[in-house]
Structure 1
Amino acid sequence: MTSIPEPRKVASGASEILHHEGYDEAIRSPFVPAIRTVSNARLVFISGVTGAPVYHDHPHVASVIDAVPADIDGQVQILFDNLDHALRAAGAQRSDVVGLTRFFTNIDEDQDVVNRVQGEWFGGHIPTSTTVQITRLATDPRLRLEIQAVAAVPAD
């Protein structure tokens, strides 16, 4: 019978990483199966961000996207910059992120690049994550990725 690892506190102290039977430290993964928030956490829900400016007109103006790089490398760097802005506005940091929902328009072409950049951006912290491939993003068909996040911030 495999022993189940004890919960491990996430860097912020507002949540714990949970593993279950079958956990193997040797397996490299960009997500963990579960994170439990503790009672002193404030939850922050961050709308989906892309490589486009967070603040843009509705209806969308195609010329705004003209300045966004067409490649996933460029888009994902801007996306994580946008996520940093939202986290800072909420008084949160990267290690407070407990969940991501990632929407790709082409997983086969883009997922390895995004996983690498995401791993570097988090610097060892690993949130829960769900990845979905969709036909297109609502903002503009040239955008390749959108990420929605939830953070658990220690209460003041």
Structure 2
Amino acid sequence: MTTVPAPRPVESGSAEILHHEGYDEAIVSPFVPAIRVVSNARLVFISGVTGAPVYHDHPHVPEVFDAVPADIAGQVANAFDHLDLALQAAGARRSDVVNLIRFFTNVGEDQDTVNRHQGQWFGGHIPTSSSVEVVRLATDHRLRLEIQAVAAVPA
């Protein structure tokens, strides 16, 4: 029988990382199976961010997106910069992120680059996450990634 590790506090102290039977610390993974938010945390829900400017007209004006990098490396860097801005506005840190939902237009081609950038960006913190491949993103057909997040900020 596998021993299940005790809950481990997230750096911010507002959540605990939970593992279950089958956990092997030797496996490299960009997500953990569960995070429990403690009662004194404030939840912050962050709308999906992409490589495009966060603030843009609706209906969309295609020319606004002409300056967005075409490659996934440029788009993921922009998306995480935009996530930083939203976290800062909420008084949150990267280590407060408890969940990511990642939408890819080509998961096979882009996931490794995104995982590398995400790992460096979090600097050792690993949130829960889901990755989904979609036909396209609503903002602009040239976008390849959208990231939605939830943070648990100490009260």
Structures share fold, TM-score greater than 0.5: yes
- Cα distance in 2 for residues equivalent to 1:44 and 1:97: 9
User: 1: CA distance between counterparts of 2:133 and 2:39?
Assistant: 34
CA distance in 1, matches of 2:46, 2:74: 21
Matching of residue 20 in structure 1 with residue 25 in structure 2? no
- Aligned identity (percent) is 79
* Corresponding position: 1:10 with 2:10: yes
Hey, what's the Cα distance between the residues in 2 that align with 1:64 and 1:108?
27
Q: CA deviation at 1:119?
A: 0.2
In structure 2, how many angstroms separate the alpha carbons of the residues matched to 1:110 and 1:141? 16
Equivalent-residue separation in structure 1 for 2:109 and 2:39 (angstroms): 40
Deviation of the 1:56 alpha carbon: 0.2
Secondary structure of the 1:101 match is: strand
Where do residues 1-156 of structure 1 align in structure 2 (5 Å cutoff)? Answer: 1-155=1-155
**CA-CA distance at 1:45 after TM superposition:** 0.1
SS where residue 11 of structure 1 aligns? Answer: coil
Q: For residue 104 of structure 2, what is the amino acid of its counterpart?
A: F
- In structure 2, runs of 5+ residues without a counterpart are none
> Over aligned residue pairs, what C-alpha RMSD do you find?
0.3
Secondary structure at the aligned position of 1:151 is classed as strand
Q: Number of aligned residue pairs: give it.
A: 155
User: SS of the residue aligned with 2:124?
Assistant: coil
Gaps of 5+ in 1: none
SS of 1:76's equivalent in the other structure is helix
Aligned residue identity for 2:134:
I
SS in 1 for 2:11: coil
SS at match of 1:43: strand
Segments ≥4 residues shifted beyond 3 Å: none
Aligned residue type for 2:132? V
> How far did 1:77 drift?
0.4
TM-score, normalising length from structure 1?
Answer: 0.99
Displacement, 1:43?
0.2
Letter in 2 for 1:17: I
- 1:34, CA displacement in angstroms? 0.2
Residue type of the partner of 1:121? W
